[in-house]
Amino acid sequence: MLVFRHLPRGCLRGRARRLRVCCAATLNSDAPATAMILILEILETIRLLTCPPNRMSPHFELSADCCASEWVGAQFAPVSGTCVRTRLLSQSLRRYGARAWLLVGAALLASCASEKPMPGNAPPALTPAQGRALINRALPAAVPDRAGWVTDLYAGFAAQAIQPTHENVCAVIAVIEQESGFRVNPAVPGLRAIAWREIDSRAEHAGVPRLIVHTALQLKSSTGRSYSDRIDAAKTEKELSDIFEDFIGTVPLGRKLFSGWNPVRTRGPMQVNVAFVEQSAAAKSYPYPVKVSLEDELFTRRGSLYFGIAHLLGYPASYDRYLYRFADFNAGQYASRNAAFQNAVSSASGIPLTPDGALLPHDSGAKGSTELALDTLAGRLTVGASAIHSALEQAKSKDFEQTPLYQQVFTLAAAADRRPPAAALVPRIKLHGPKISRNLTTDWYARRVDERFKRCLDR
């Protein structure tokens, strides 16, 4: 949808497939409106000569709230809630000259641009056989147990009513390639050192002396070997997780004292975080039989793919590139949209913010930097402090975009920058974790996956 919104300084936002011209009810003169209507007329006249039929909508709409009689010289014919301009093209071109063609050029470039459909669109539904065939073609040539991957990937899409389009399938495949190289339970180099470092870190954070923890792990486990020996010998995340679950369930007060101490928090071929599984399962039932626990299901191929697809594609987002979904997979759903919001807050307030996508502090009841910056805009916003905080609490929901706070901040940012602010930004986050030893960022991760995604599309 190509959208022209009349902001204080004006803005132009492009998106292919459909054209709709909108304007605010606060227009005080006919000039901006007439210019927008001029674009509509010219496009109506030359669209079939300029754009291939499969690249442009068969009609254009002018929203009903633009039907204002005070627009001098404009003639409208209301049709089904829309207004169609009837003025002759030749008269308008003579009146506005070169400036009109500049506007038209920008509009045509946007409306004729080829854009790959995003998960929120509705492409023609595929039959199960077509969906499996598409997945099979998209998989890398050397993937082992190809039939098994096809089955579990298709089931993950079907169980959540997400279309296995070429783009959606390649997005999931790109993440799998990046996270595990299609190995369901891969060996982790240096796992022994990683495990003990994480155990010591958790002990320190919990205020438990390291000596006590290490002594407890010298106890014999259910296999006859000490937990410590088993940790030293573990090669995969599944083995290490099983050791901790055994320990927590066996030692006295283990569940009370060591619950949450399992250092393996991301699991399976898509490396889905345990926290997301808990959140997702609360909203929607898991469709497969659970042998041990939902968290343990992440170590299975079907479980990791199911929750991985949900994390990557199972939420509505207005992104124009899959790059932002890849960033969200790493940083959390809607993190890219929220980072753009923080950028808009910076533009509107003049206060520098790190666009990390976290609108509220994770572990504190105090106001974060984003909320403090918004407080300085109090005189220019129509929402109070309580409404600001309530809106920020919707940061992990699509509904955040419908709040007056979100919309007013972007309007102020557009006026300050004299251009429309970005609707999505890759969050600026430095990655930390027990398995990360290099200086990596969310930007690095998202772009690396995006490269794999593009190669998959070319297969």
**Residues 60-76: pLDDT tens digits?**
333 333 333 322 333 33
- Judge contact between 64 and 83, C-beta under 8 A: yes
Q: What residues does 244 pair with on adjacent strands?
A: none
Query: In sequence order, which residues have a C-beta less than 8 Å from that of residue 112 and are 6 or more positions away?
Result: 16, 50, 51, 52, 55, 56
Q: Which residue has the tokens 């006026």?
A: 415
| Sheet with 11-13: strands ordered across | 11-13, 2-5, 19-21, 60-62
Q: What residues does 187 pair with on adjacent strands?
A: 236
3-state helix, strand, coil in the chain (%, to 5): 55, 5, 40
Q: What is the pLDDT of residue 438?
A: 77
pLDDT value at 27 more than 90 = no
Q: Which helix (H) or strand (E) holds 395?
A: none
Q: Which residue has the tokens 């932002």?
A: 324
Q: Which of 249-263, 284-298, 366-380, 441-455 has the lowest mean pLDDT?
A: 249-263
Higher pLDDT, 249 or 322: 322
CA angle 330, 355, 447 (to 5 degrees): 40
Greatest distance between any 2 Cα atoms in the chain: 92
DSSP 8-state secondary structure symbol assigned to residue 220: B
Q: Which residue has the tokens 């997400």?
A: 162
Joined tokens for residue 100: 């009109």
Taking the C-alpha atoms of residue 402 and residue 394, their distance in angstroms, rounded to an integer, is 10
pLDDT band at 45 (very low <50, low <70, confident <90, very high): very low
Supply the mean pLDDT for the chain: 78
Joined tokens for residue 190: 């240096």
Share of the chain above pLDDT 90, in %: 53
Backbone angles phi, psi at 139, to 5 degrees: -65, 145
Q: What is the pLDDT of residue 121?
A: 54
pLDDT value at 138 more than 70 = yes
